[in-house]
Chains A and B, each alone.
Chain A
């Protein structure tokens, strides 16, 4: 059986369908150097598998070593990319220049001494090499210059930190896996980074109700493998699962790939949390009951508040039982209209087993095929205009499969589907998902990426991509993909470098266009720094004003994630 895992790895590598984790960027170094979790999940078996190569031929052994080297290289590469000047002017593409608020103090040695007295000494990080990645966001678009990162291990420690920072007027940025895409998770200036990654324990799991209670620093993928062993699944899944933390997911109200099947975090009847407010008060809003109607349901304030109202320290979440039968089809369509029709029909014919409906255009496909190692075109040799992934999840594999096949045959005959493949095993499932999940990573290789995550009426959605393409011309690449099942478009525009002229062509056009069509300027990534001044495109002045009042009430000194979420002209420090 050990050998089986080794084959699995070799196999996976040879077919190279997927890097060893969906997001190797930060999972990799850790899991190679330590074993973060039990030995579930492909990465965690690495050590075991590697020792069992004795039955391999010399050539295979060498290949395996090569694989290992590639992985190690990547790690170095990623560290390397962080090596750039930290003295950049604080001017972020995609947002107006921001100035550091004079109301915040600067860190002094007494502060450090205090933090060392309440935390373990090695959880008070001042080492520039360790601060560098925490100061840089996933897209390398935002760069802070924090001199201090704190890694609390308990809610009490978080509470002490907050109380102290509040009294000292020290600004804080709560950080999770730092995979956020709107510049919310990195400091803008010298805010203290508070990362709960050390709070990564699973507190309880109730098999009868399916309610999981865990600390906020648990990595999504680790929760997934824990639940997998128990026969349950996490109600959310995203490409960043190897790095992002459940606290970050809740704080950004992350949606993701399987929203069709499972509920939005706001609708998850048992999502609850424990959070620490700006003055250090611990608020227990953990839900372990499915029904609870007692007063204001304040946990909703924290879901999606992007660290601006408190630090989430624990999370409870209702998890559905795992349904073993997953089927996945990767299909080609000639135009966007066909994709829409396909969704309409899939909803009717596949109904309750339809668990994901994603689309990508030919430009996204090109990017993945050219920029990601080992990805292969499932429908060679042509590149079609549009691709759709349809996933069904149910309890009866053959029955669901039959139903999907019949559905697909009919639509292929009618010409709505041009071509398609249906995954025959889990490896193929991962290879097809890898294409969709790998798009953000593939686009990064073009240089700068301007990302817009929009909710738009389904029929209008792709018009924006066409319009942007016409507007921007060559050599800028305009790519459209997203969660069609949720009317959620990811409009991504890439150019070799971030460039003001290109930006001026994109913004405010994209926001105005979205607003005109009554869409949302942030379907799921949030507001962060990137869109703080754009909130009015999607929310009325009265609503924004109420948000500001709530923020002032809960964080009078404005220390929590300043410059983010709310328009700068209204923030507490102005």
Chain B
């Protein structure tokens, strides 16, 4: 069985986000970009399944500009066998378009499992996994915090963190899984694996070759910063605090 993993290149989570002056989006020029943390978890899970002898190949796929190759290289260094880059300069790679591209790739590759992060930390959409499940008519286990595969029965058992507890699902393969934070702790890229990754193939395709039209089904009106938090003040006495709570905040 083959596992396909979707990888998104995003602004590194540790970078302080700056909104472009014209409010059209987030500044990405000269900003450190890295793999979406949830995608890292998705990849780690795929690698563990393969290492347990339940899959034969892990294919990492990414959509976007030419620099996505760097992120795919990281996934190869973590242990993916090969990668596919759907090159597109479009700024319209919204979830539905990405889901269509993923479906097209699935049609070519025929994986038994498609694993994605539950969401990307840049747009917080949390839609792609669900949409691609709909397009493929595959069962889906979202927000997975535990995944167990049964090779004979061809099923995946998925634990999901829901409000107040855990929900356990059993899915028939092929299936879609989206990963939550606690599923696993991704590995580091070791030197020997980085070395090996240099010679692993990254195939490039275009949306046209996959017969997918990147259509704009929505417009971003404006991106704005959260309101600035006011600086705190240090008070010298409890009396002063009570005074302020009474007279300024009017809460007591």
Identify the A interface with B (CB < 8 A): 1-4, 7-8, 10-11, 14-15, 33-36, 38-40, 42, 47-48, 57-60, 122, 228-229, 324, 329, 331, 376, 378-379, 397-398, 405, 408-409, 412, 417, 419-428, 430
Residues of B within 8 A of A427 (CB): 12-14, 37
| CB <8 Å contact, B185 and A424 | no
Of B14, B181, B225, B234, the residue contacting A10 (CB under 8 A) is B181
Say whether A1 contacts B185, CB under 8 Å: no
Residue contact A421 to B189, C-beta cutoff 8 Å: yes
Nearest-Cβ distance from residue B64 to partner chain A, whole angstroms: 16
A35 x B181 contact (CB < 8 A) = no
Closest to A7 in B: B121
> Could you jot down 11 A-B contacts, CB within 8 Å?
A1-B226, A2-B226, A7-B37, A14-B181, A35-B231, A39-B229, A47-B229, A57-B162, A324-B32, A398-B70, A424-B189
B185 — nearest CB in chain A belongs to which residue? A15
Docked complex Cα distance between A425 and B78 (Å): 13
CB of B37, distance to nearest CB on chain A (Å): 6
* Cβ distance A52 to chain B, nearest Cβ, rounded Å: 9
Query: What per-residue 1/0 map shows which CB atoms of B16-40 lie under 8 Å from chain A?
Result: 1100000000100011101101000
Q: Are B12 and A426 in contact (CB under 8 A)?
A: yes
Determine if B53 is an interface residue (Cβ-Cβ < 8 Å): no
Cβ A424 vs Cβ B74 within 8 A: yes
Q: How far is the CB of B167 from chain A (nearest CB, A)?
A: 11
Q: Tell me whether A34 and B234 are in contact (CB under 8 A).
A: yes
Whether the Cβ atoms of A1 and B191 lie closer than 8 Å is no
Roughly how many angstroms separate A430 CA and B14 CA in the complex, as a whole number? 10
Contact A426 B14 (CB under 8 A): yes
A10 to B162, CA, bound (A): 17
Is there an interface contact between A420 and B190, defined as CB atoms closer than 8 Å? yes
Interface status of B153 (Cβ within 8 A of chain A):
no
Q: A7-B13, A35-B232, A39-B228 are in contact. Are A324 and B188 (CB under 8 A)?
A: no
Tell me the nearest residue of chain B to A14, going by C-beta. Answer: B181
Closest partner residue, chain B, to A421 (CB atom): B188
In the complex, A115 Cα to B52 Cα: how many Å?
A: 72
Closest Cβ neighbor of B231 among chain A residues? A35
B191 touches A4 (CB 8 A): no
Find out whether the CB atom of B124 lies under 8 angstroms from the CB atom of A4: yes
What is the interface of chain B mostly: helix, strand, loop, or mixed? loop
| B104 part of interface (Cβ distance < 8 Å) | no
CB-based contact A425/B226 at 8 Å:
no
Q: Is the CB of A8 within 8 A of B13?
A: yes
Bound form: Cα–Cα A7–B234 in Å: 29
Q: Are B17 and A4 in contact (CB under 8 A)?
A: yes
**B242, CB-defined interface residue at 8 Å:** no
Q: Are B37 and A59 in contact (CB under 8 A)?
A: no
Task: Tell yes or no: B115 within 8 A of A by CB.
Answer: no
What's the Cα separation between A34 and B189 when bound, in Å?
A: 39
Q: Check B190 against A426 for contact (C-beta < 8 Å).
A: no
Residues of A within 8 A of B122 (CB): 4
Q: State how many angstroms separate the Cβ of A306 from the closest Cβ of chain B.
A: 29
Q: Is the pair A14, B182 in contact by a Cβ cutoff of 8 Å?
A: yes
In the assembled complex, which residues on chain B have CB atoms less than 8 Å from the CB atom of A430?
A: 14
| B interface residue count range (under 10 / 10 to 19 / 20 to 34 / 35 or more) | 35 or more
Q: Once bound together, how far apart are the Cα atoms of A561 and B117, in whole Å?
A: 58
B213 on the interface (CB 8 Å rule)?
no
Contacting residues, chain A, for B185 (C-beta < 8 A): 14-15, 376
In angstroms, Cα B83 to Cα A346, docked, is: 32
Residues on B with beta carbons closer than 8 Å to the beta carbon of A47: 229
Contact assessment for B229 and A48 in the assembled complex, using a CB-CB cutoff below 8 Å: yes
The answer to whether B225 and A1 have CB atoms under 8 Å apart is yes
Chain A hits for B78, CB < 8 A: 424
Point out the residues of chain A lying under 8 angstroms from B74, CB to CB: 424
B251 interface residue, CB < 8 Å from A?
no
Please give the distance in Å from B67's CB to the nearest CB on chain A. Answer: 8
A398 cross-chain contacts in B, Cβ below 8 A: 70
Minimum CB–CB distance from B190 to chain A (whole Å) comes to: 5
Q: What 6 pairs between A and B have smallest CB-CB spacing?
A: A425-B34, A426-B14, A34-B232, A122-B236, A421-B188, A420-B191
> Which residues of A are found within 8 Å of B15, using beta-carbon distances?
426
Residue pair B77, A424 in contact (C-beta under 8 Å) = yes
Contact B191 A419 (CB under 8 A): yes
* Shortest distance between the CB of B229 and any CB in chain A (Å): 5
Contact call A426/B229, Cβ cutoff below 8 A: no
Given known contacts A419-B192, A421-B188, A426-B34, what 16 new A-B pairs fall within 8 Å (CB)?
A: A1-B17, A7-B121, A11-B37, A14-B182, A57-B162, A58-B163, A59-B161, A59-B164, A60-B181, A229-B16, A324-B32, A412-B192, A412-B195, A425-B32, A426-B32, A427-B13
How many whole Å from A514's CB to the nearest CB in chain B?
Answer: 36
Q: How far, in angstroms, from A422 to B190 measured CA to CA in the complex? A: 7
Q: Are A425 and B17 in contact (CB under 8 A)?
A: no
- Residue B105 CB within 8 A of the other chain: no
Chain B min CB distance to A78 (Å): 19
Measured in the bound complex, the distance between the Cα atoms of B209 and A495 in whole Å is 68
Q: Please, how many angstroms separate the alpha-carbon atoms of A430 and B12 in the complex? A: 13
Q: Is B194 an interface residue (CB 8 A)?
A: yes
Provide the residues of chain B in CB contact with A419, threshold 8 Å.
190-192
With a cutoff of 8 Å between Cβ atoms, the chain B residues found around residue A2 in the complex are 226
Cβ A378 vs Cβ B191 within 8 A: no
B3 to chain A, nearest CB (A): 20
Most chain A beta-carbon contacts within 10 A, residue among B14, B143, B191, B230: B191
* Cβ contacts under 8 Å, A7 to chain B: 13, 37, 121, 181
- Quick check: B189 and A422 within 8 Å, CB to CB? yes
A4 touches B121 (CB 8 A): yes
Q: How far is the CA of A417 from the CA of B194 in the complex (A)?
A: 14
**In the complex, which residue of chain B has the Cβ closest to the Cβ of A322?**
B30
How far is the CB of B145 from the nearest CB of chain A, in Å?
9
Complex: chain B residue closest to A431, CB-CB: B188
Question: In the complex, which residues of chain A have a beta carbon less than 8 angstroms from the beta carbon of B221?
Answer: none
Q: Is B89 an interface residue (CB 8 A)?
A: no
Contact of A405 among B12, B17, B34, B194 (CB under 8 A): B194
Asked if B233 is at the interface (CB within 8 A of a chain A CB), the reply is yes
CB-CB < 8 A to B77: which residues of A?
424
Enumerate chain B residues within 8 angstroms of A38, measured Cβ to Cβ.
228, 231
Contact of B164 (CB < 8 Å), options: A58, A376, A428:
A58
Nearest Cβ distance between residue B19 and chain A, in whole angstroms? Answer: 8
Given the complex of chains A and B, what is the CA–CA distance between A430 and B13 in angstroms?
12
- Residues of B with C-beta under 8 A to A122: 236-237
CB distance from B18 to the nearest CB of A (A): 9
CB-based nearest B residue for A16: B185
Contact at A424–B232, with CB atoms within 8 Å? no
Chain B contacts with A in 1-16, Cβ cutoff 8 A? 12-16
In the complex, the answer to whether A428 meets B188 with C-beta atoms within 8 Å is: yes
Which residues from A are CB-within-8-Å of B164?
Answer: 58-59
The answer to whether B163 touches A57, judged by C-beta atoms less than 8 angstroms apart, is yes
Given A1-B226, A58-B163, A424-B74: A378 and B188 interface contact (C-beta under 8 Å) = yes
Contact partners of B226 in chain A: CB under 8 A: 1-2, 48
